[in-house]
Amino acid sequence: MTMQIADSVSLPASDAKAHAAAARDNLRTEPRAVRIVIIALAVIFLTVFVVLPLVVVFAQALSRGILAYFAALAEPEALAAIKLTLIVAAISVGLNLVFGLVAAWAIAKFDFPGKTFLITLIDLPFSVSPVISGLVFVLLFGAQGYFGTWLRDHDIQILFAVPGIALATTFVTFPFVARALIPLMQEQGTQEEEAAISLGASGLQTFFRVTLPNIKWGVLYGVLLCNARAMGEFGAVSVVSGHIRGETNTMPLLVEILYDEYQFVAAFAIASLLAMLALITLIAKTVLERHLDEGQDAGDH
């Protein structure tokens, strides 16, 4: 028995992983037929609820030919919606990147009163309906809101303009970067930062030369998810945008308007752009998850 334990301890990492995989396989006692049924059900579910809707979107967008598809995307209203969506996404991702880095740094590296409450606040947009978050901004910045009079007296437009749309989108998306970084930074600990500081590095030097290289894949992962969510946001933006055609309609809002007006080719053409964004996000997410897993494995060794 002692020799077996010693041999298992001295196994190379690759052999240890092989033994762990074999142990997991031994636990799978389901009959082959049951496993086939479970896998088939999963594939059917994904096909019906994921693959088929995407195929329908692209089929409808191209139903009148490729020229009609690009003509719909070249409409001034469509170009304005695409431009506004990109601007709002850039603003919200930039703000959330700064917030996510600061929040993750504070939560992972320091202990302070209210830490648990801060984590709860970060998760708040996950549990609050986007429509409610949009209404909150209406209560704050609307004509009858808390700051409405002051904004009107100083000729500052928040609602029914880019600032309101960007604020609502930022609120809905701000958990993504922070939530991608907090567990990663907690797992890495503070040893490397403390070593850098002990060698005379400043706080900024420690962050840019030690912390940031260690979390770069996590940052990209959070930014990716935040950007995808920002471009696809509908509820909060719908409340604060005012639906001004050619000015405050993002791509999701324009899809609804065009569909309600029976402009199906144009509606599905815009929707196909959002679908392509989703597919690109899925591929990039898979690649980044692989890099994150490799980084964690390297850290374990």
What is the full DSSP assignment across 104-163? HHHHHH---TTHHHHHHHHTHHHHS-HHHHHHHHHHHHSTTSTTHHHHHHTT---TTSHH
The whole-number pLDDT of residue 98 equals 93
pLDDT per residue as tens digits for the range 198-218? 888 877 788 888 888 888 888
Sign of the C-alpha dihedral computed for residues 51, 53, 58 and 64 taken in this order: positive
Structural domains in the chain plus CATH codes? 2-57 (no CATH), 65-298 (1.10.3720.10)
Angle (CA) 4-5-11 rounded to 5° is: 90
CB atoms inside a 10 Å sphere around CB 25 = 8
Question: What number is the average pLDDT over the span 79-87?
Answer: 94
Lowest mean pLDDT among 12-16, 81-85, 114-118, 232-236: 12-16
Question: What number is the average pLDDT over the span 88-108?
Answer: 92
pTM of the model: 0.80
The whole-number pLDDT of residue 67 equals 93
231 burial class (0-12, 13-18, 19+ CB within 10 angstroms)?
A: buried
Mean pLDDT over all residues of the chain? 84
**Is pLDDT of 14 > 60?**
no
**Is pLDDT of 176 > 50?**
yes
Q: Where are the alpha helices (DSSP H) in the chain?
A: 2-9, 13-27, 32-46, 52-61, 66-73, 76-109, 115-122, 124-127, 130-141, 148-153, 162-173, 175-188, 191-198, 203-206, 212-232, 235-241, 251-260, 264-300
pLDDT per residue as tens digits for the range 50-81? 889 889 999 999 999 999 999 999 999 999 99
Question: What number is the average pLDDT over the span 254-268?
Answer: 93
